[in-house]
Amino acid sequence: MGRRPATYADLEALPEHVVGEIIDGELYASPRPASPHVLAVSILSAELGEAFHLGRGGPGGWVMLYKPELHLGQDVLVPDLAGWSRERMPRVPRVAAFTLAPDWVCEVLSPSTSRLDRTAKLPVYAREDVRHVWFVDPEARTLEVFRLEGTRYSPLATHTGLARVRAEPFEALELKLAALWDEV
């Protein structure tokens, strides 16, 4: 006998200290992230939010959100960061979950989520036409940048260490990778 597909009620039943997602009918529960993960997400959120959401020191034109709940078909995903062009999402709707796929997502990898982010979530993002995906790995000190081409992601660049980088689709802003690893 097969298992029943996970439901939203299964997500709601999870303890508060875990992040739940449903991908292809399967429930995934991940522990709250450790400090290197939290630091990288916090710095990226501040830098990108300032320049692209608020338009301070950058071009604006984006809605940037921290850990939005995405309902994409039957899948429920929670990327670390997501961005929508203002052309597609002029204002943030007052909703518990978003059904409009973002234009960009960032997943900050940890040992417990790396495989999920790379193998289960990436095909969903491609199916939903998310144009850009970033993987940030605080342990390896890398930023991997991908662009959707057709139905698959093509790697554009892997930035490492303490580099200053301009990464698509936010190349208008120079990011200091050292800040993500707390080496400023």
- Is residue 145 within 8 Å of residue 175, measured between CB atoms? no
pLDDT at 93: 96
Mean pLDDT, range 101-108, rounded to an integer: 98
Mean pLDDT, range 12-40, rounded to an integer: 91
Structure tokens at 68: 């939005």
Instruction: Give the predicted TM-score (pTM) of the model.
Output: 0.94
Task: Summarize pLDDT for 48-99 with one digit per residue, the tens.
Answer: 999 999 999 999 999 999 999 999 999 999 999 999 999 999 999 999 999 9
pLDDT at 3: 74
pLDDT at 184: 82
Q: How confident is the model at residue 32 (pLDDT cuts 50, 70, 90)?
A: confident
Task: Summarize pLDDT for 105-117 with one digit per residue, the tens.
Answer: 999 999 889 999 9
C-alpha 21: how far from its chain's center?
Answer: 13
> What does the DSSP assignment read for the chain?
-PPPPP-HHHHHTS-TTEEEEEETTEEEEEEPPPHHHHHHHHHHHHHHIIIIIS-SSS---EEEEES--EEETTEEE--SEEEEETTT-SS--S-SSB-SPPSEEEEE--TTTHHIIIIIIHHHHHHTT--EEEEEETTTTEEEEEEEETTEEEEEEEEETT-EE--TT-TTS-EEHHHHTT--
Strand-pairing partners, residue 160, are 142
Residue 16 pLDDT exceeds 90 = no
Mean pLDDT, all residues of the chain: 95
Cβ within 8 Å of residue 12, ≥6 positions away: none
Whole-number Cα distances in Å, 148 to 116, 117, 154, 155, 156: 19, 16, 6, 9, 10
Residue 1 pLDDT exceeds 70 = no
CA-based nearest residue to 83, from 124, 134, 117, 39? 134
Residue whose tokens read 């790379």: 118
Percentage of the chain exceeding pLDDT 90? 89
pLDDT at 177: 97
What is the C-alpha radius of gyration for the chain, rounded to an integer number of angstroms?
Answer: 16
- Is residue 77 within 8 Å of residue 124, measured between CB atoms? yes
